[in-house]
Structure 1
Amino acid sequence: MKFRALLWIMLFWSVQLNAQRRSYIPSSRDTSVKLLSDDPISAALDSLAFLKLFDNVKYTGEFGRITIPGMNSDSVPVFEASVIADRIAKLDAQSPFKLIYNDEVRAYINMYSIRKRNQVSRMIGLSELYFPMFEEKLAKYKMPLELKYLAIVESALNPAARSRAGAQGLWQFMYGTGKLFGLKVNSYVDERCDPLKATEAACLYMKYLYSIYKDWSLVLAAYNSGPGNVNKAIRRSGGKTNYWDLRPYLPRETAGYVPAFIAAVYVMHYAKEHNLHPIMPRAIFNEIDTLHIRRRVTFTQLANVLDMPTEDIAFLNPSFLLEVIPETETHHVLTLPRSKVATFINNEETIYNYKLSASARTDTASINQALPKVRIHTVRSGESISMIARKYGVTVAEVKKWNHLKSSQLKRGQKLKVSSPYKVQVQEVVAASGASNSQSTEPTPAETQQANNQNDNTAPKAYVTYKVRSGDTPWKIAVNHGMTLNEFRSLNGFGNKTVLKVGMRVKVKPKK
């Protein structure tokens, strides 16, 4: 009997000890402490669900996929308070911030590690894009690198985040504060959304706040609510300068700000232990580069010539409000994937000329040859979804919708349904600059035969001739007429080394 009692006691303490180390719950169980229903920190996390940069991407990155033996990929670990408190104490010992553990911090840890796990996985992926940039600027100003986690609390690392009060960007600058620290805002450009410039301004602002309070927790509070509210809280508290003593006197939103910051520091350090893994965006920091440009260009021009989705350009350049980079006497900074930088440099004039050709005046003589409403396009080697969309005069989104595609990746031989909204036209184009007409409106019999012999005989095939001008290149002519370089060469029987001569007539697609 005594032996049985002893056995039960040993079993009880074994279970308790194991629970203290780690326990698991199904994803559907809610163990979080309730936060404010309109909590802006939670709202910032929710905004990540709408970033198209995460469409159809998988768990990747330096964190690895499964790190705890015996744990399923969808397991949600829950740790005892003593375990989390011990971990935070270790982080505190290595940080200039006062990192503590209490119920308020626990509530935000539960939000990050349990309730909003999918959003946090995206945020971890974004951290690999933005944290190297943040660390570089913080090191420049000799500031604690932990301040990079402030952007998690402010925007969940969403560069397009906008608060109800009107704060914008990764660092959530209000209009007045942004202007005070050199961020320009006009109809075309909002530098509060520029990751580099806003990070520089955030460092200057936090350095200024630290010169006032000499306490990083108060810097966080002042960054969120403004130094006026912190000064008021200090007066109302009788002159106290400890954040936790001031907390009852701070605005409601700021009261949760430092707990959320501590929770963010903890979760980012212990993501593996909580089975949190990054969902990576399509571009990471070491795969992008910047260029200086002065002339006006639209995201559509860049997308068409560089053959990349417009939403990718918009994500990398969130400060341009209308998807237009305006002309300037100094320069604007354009961010692109590194693989596209050389293409831009080598074809910069072509990109600008693409704009000019798009704004040309057209006098159109139409051949009212109605096309079938729905056709089947067979994907050829080297074709992208944006090329196919341009070919039929539709959008990438429409092609995806008609074919129930979740990503832009295509395979050679894949069949796509395409419904083209236009009729075949033969156009006479007069350049916007007033140049004389250089295109014949009559396709020759040879051109008609060439059109009928193309591999994809379901597509509209009417061609015109174009007279080569000084400065023309095969790439420039192809882009100006909505063609790929290979299409242009194939249509005219040109090889890679064919040299164009001024006055030569070549075959091109008519402009729609």
Structure 2
Amino acid sequence: MSKTTDSIVDGKKLQSTSIQAVIDSTQIQSLQDHELALQIDEKWLEELYSNTLFDTIYKTVSELDYKPVDYPELPTDTLKARLAKLNARTPFNVEYNPSLENVIKNFLKNRRTSMERLMGLSHYYFPMFESEFDNFNIPLEMKYLSIVESALKPRAKSRVGATGLWQFMFATGKQYGLDVSSYVDERSDPIKSTKIAAVYLSKLYEIFGDWDLALAAYNSGPGNVTKAIRRSGGYQNYWNIRHNLPRETAGYVPAFLATMYIFEFAKEHGFQPEKPQFHYVETDTIRVKQTITLDQVAETTNVPIEELQFLNPSYKLDIIPFIEDKAYYLRLPRTAIGTFVNNEEQIYAFAKAEFDKREKPLPQFFEAESRVRYRVRSGDYLGKIARKYGVRVSQIKQWNGLRSNNLRIGQRLTIYPRRPVVNTSVASNSNASQASSSSSKTYTVKQGDSLWSISRKFPGVSVQNIRDWNDISGNNLKPGMKLKIAKG
């Protein structure tokens, strides 16, 4: 029997057919051919092979023989006691069995560094996950699923195109109302994608009435789970039907439970989480009123471009578009919200002027003879390279047809420096002479200053002028720094 359910996500009504939870094994058998289940199976089986971290986890888990391994640092009796405590406070079945023990011990032995990094990131992502899951009455421990799916990388993209923290395919994202366009991919938006994951997980729970089975169905599709129930003779405990599930799902749920155990008992195992770059409550959003780039925001607020990219992962080209009847938001550290709001009119005017300039022919220093071919080295990232040559991240991406921020060692990039490389020393000497002449003055950097805000104090002076006169390649300023400003 089916029924229609409506879910509200960001003001949109999502209407879809869901299946009532059933407990009779004969009724469950009929679910294997349910049209919705088959459609979801097809999409989810594609996504099964897609997520960033699961490829690694699956190889580790699926190749184990599931025999207990004796690690002195974690006695089996201790593990049993801790799993019993965990089982008592979560609706997932976290009962001891040798298979789970082996996965936990393997993770403790081989994944300490990556887990500490993920624990640091979790301080930012988990509060928003918990808030959305609480709205849908989903166990808060489901937040650990994002680690198995994407290693908490909002721009994670699989070889078959599944994207985001929850690894949605293009069609799935569109089906559930996520905006996917040339500029925006809301599958990478932490909050919006989590709402959709919550909607889908809720539907899976309606089908099975069990969160372990919902988790297995998220991985392999509800049709495969109902087949496993039927083939096992009607059992509905995950561990009783596990041998009838696809091999990948047999490793998927233990990986999830092992991750949950390690996070919940991290202190007991001596994990030292990395210091988080941000806490979620330390950020806020502003609705944009005009097309603007993250580069322009960085220049006018003094927030490093890398931080803006981290906080705004759904903007594929680092451009926030303005489209009538659509709302796009810029997430900023709370410390920068005031700067943006208080200077909003000037910031948008600056952005418009920048876009207007780009419509003109390229200036002389962008000609072919000033072109640089840069070879990516270990430790490089787009922001670092952009600062080196005094250009923007968005420009490097445009010149090289890059659709993401990912680079590989040895990759060749075409860059047009702001000044021709061959004339760098001459230009620097000329600028230095100009700035050091009797017609120049000195400006002392104050708290909250940015190159853009300083340039506004001196008519006719641009951000690039200040960079050239003071040999500055980026936007970083420190209070008390002395800047030379040449008079016109």
TM-score range, shorter chain: 0.5 to 0.7
Distance 1:327 1:225 in 2: 38
1:126 to 121, 132, 157: 121
- After superposition, the Cα gap between the structure-2 partners of 1:175 and 1:231, relative to the gap in structure 1 and judged at 3 Å, is farther
After superposition, residues 297-316 of structure 1 pair within 5 angstroms as 297-316=292-311
Cα distance, 1:312 vs. partner?
1.8
Cα distance, 1:338 vs. partner?
1.4
1:202 to 194, 197, 221: 197
The 3-state SS of whatever aligns with 1:222 is helix
Cα contact 2:292–2:321 (8 A) shared by 1: yes
The 3-state SS of whatever aligns with 1:474 is coil
The 3-state SS of whatever aligns with 1:354 is helix
The 3-state SS of whatever aligns with 1:491 is strand
Distance 2:364 2:225 in 1: 70
- CA deviation vs aligned residue, 1:189-228 (integer Å, no higher than 9, x gap): 1111100101111111111111111011011011112222
Distance 1:45 1:318 in 2: 25
Cα contact 1:393–1:420 (8 A) shared by 2: no
Cα distance, 1:345 vs. partner?
1.6
Equivalent residue letter for 1:83: T
- CA deviation vs aligned residue, 1:422-459 (integer Å, no higher than 9, x gap): 7489xxxxxxxxxxxxxxxxx9x99782477879xxxx
Cα distance, 1:131 vs. partner?
1.2
- CA deviation vs aligned residue, 1:146-192 (integer Å, no higher than 9, x gap): 11122122222222222334322111222233223222212221111
Moved more, 296-305 or 215-224: 296-305
Equivalent residue letter for 1:421: V
Per the alignment, residue 290 of structure 2 pairs with: 295
Per the alignment, residue 257 of structure 1 pairs with: 252
- CA deviation vs aligned residue, 1:481-502 (integer Å, no higher than 9, x gap): 554899999627xxxxxxxxxx
Per the alignment, residue 179 of structure 2 pairs with: 184
Per the alignment, residue 461 of structure 1 pairs with: none
RMSD: 4.0
Per the alignment, residue 457 of structure 2 pairs with: 474
Cα contact 2:128–2:191 (8 A) shared by 1: yes
Equivalent residue letter for 1:491: I
Per the alignment, residue 347 of structure 2 pairs with: 351
Are positions 1:241 and 2:236 aligned together?
A: yes
Distance 1:482 1:256 in 2: 58
Are positions 1:449 and 2:437 aligned together?
A: yes
Per the alignment, residue 323 of structure 2 pairs with: 328
- CA deviation vs aligned residue, 1:272-298 (integer Å, no higher than 9, x gap): 111111112322212211111142112
Equivalent residue letter for 1:339: T
Per the alignment, residue 94 of structure 1 pairs with: 89
Distance 1:154 1:365 in 2: 47
Cα contact 1:291–1:334 (8 A) shared by 2: yes
Distance 1:476 1:325 in 2: 28
Equivalent residue letter for 1:332: Y
Equivalent residue letter for 2:338: A
Are positions 1:171 and 2:176 aligned together?
A: no
The 3-state SS of whatever aligns with 2:215 is helix
The 3-state SS of whatever aligns with 1:172 is coil
Distance 2:227 2:301 in 1: 53
The structure carrying a bigger helix percent of its residues is 2
- CA deviation vs aligned residue, 1:287-325 (integer Å, no higher than 9, x gap): 211111142112221222222332221111111111211
The 3-state SS of whatever aligns with 2:286 is strand
Cα distance, 1:349 vs. partner?
3.3
- After superposition, the Cα gap between the structure-2 partners of 1:109 and 1:387, relative to the gap in structure 1 and judged at 3 Å, is closer
1:230 to 225, 230, 236: 225
The 3-state SS of whatever aligns with 1:96 is coil
Cα distance, 1:341 vs. partner?
1.4
Distance 2:51 2:436 in 1: 64
Are positions 1:78 and 2:78 aligned together?
A: no
- After superposition, the Cα gap between the structure-2 partners of 1:87 and 1:292, relative to the gap in structure 1 and judged at 3 Å, is same
The 3-state SS of whatever aligns with 1:350 is helix
Are positions 1:151 and 2:146 aligned together?
A: yes
- CA deviation vs aligned residue, 1:460-508 (integer Å, no higher than 9, x gap): xxxxxxxxxxxx953896556554899999627xxxxxxxxxxxxx63x
Moved more, 326-335 or 195-204: 326-335
Distance 1:266 1:387 in 2: 38
Cα contact 1:474–1:488 (8 A) shared by 2: no
Cα contact 2:163–2:187 (8 A) shared by 1: yes
Distance 1:138 1:267 in 2: 21
Cα contact 2:50–2:161 (8 A) shared by 1: no
Cα contact 1:224–1:254 (8 A) shared by 2: yes
- After superposition, the Cα gap between the structure-2 partners of 1:163 and 1:235, relative to the gap in structure 1 and judged at 3 Å, is farther
Cα contact 1:44–1:155 (8 A) shared by 2: no
Cα contact 2:52–2:156 (8 A) shared by 1: no
Distance 1:203 1:479 in 2: 48
- CA deviation vs aligned residue, 1:113-146 (integer Å, no higher than 9, x gap): 2201111001001111111111111222222211
Identity %: 43
Distance 1:209 1:200 in 2: 14
Per the alignment, residue 406 of structure 2 pairs with: none
Per the alignment, residue 378 of structure 2 pairs with: none
Equivalent residue letter for 1:340: A
Per the alignment, residue 276 of structure 2 pairs with: 281
Cα contact 1:393–1:421 (8 A) shared by 2: no
* TM-score relative to the length of structure 1: 0.61
Distance 1:342 1:452 in 2: 32
Distance 1:322 1:266 in 2: 38
Distance 1:294 1:230 in 2: 47
Equivalent residue letter for 1:449: S
The 3-state SS of whatever aligns with 1:78 is coil
The 3-state SS of whatever aligns with 1:220 is helix
Cα contact 2:163–2:169 (8 A) shared by 1: yes
Cα contact 2:54–2:149 (8 A) shared by 1: no
Cα contact 2:442–2:482 (8 A) shared by 1: no
Distance 1:260 1:221 in 2: 11
Distance 2:97 2:121 in 1: 28
Distance 2:154 2:56 in 1: 11
The number of residue pairs the alignment matches comes to: 356
- After superposition, the Cα gap between the structure-2 partners of 1:454 and 1:489, relative to the gap in structure 1 and judged at 3 Å, is closer
Cα contact 1:44–1:154 (8 A) shared by 2: no
* TM-score relative to the length of structure 2: 0.63
Query: Could you list the runs of 5+ residues in structure 2 that have no partner in the other structure?
Result: 1-48, 59-70, 366-382, 394-418, 426-430, 444-454, 468-476
Per the alignment, residue 393 of structure 1 pairs with: 390
Are positions 1:421 and 2:418 aligned together?
A: no
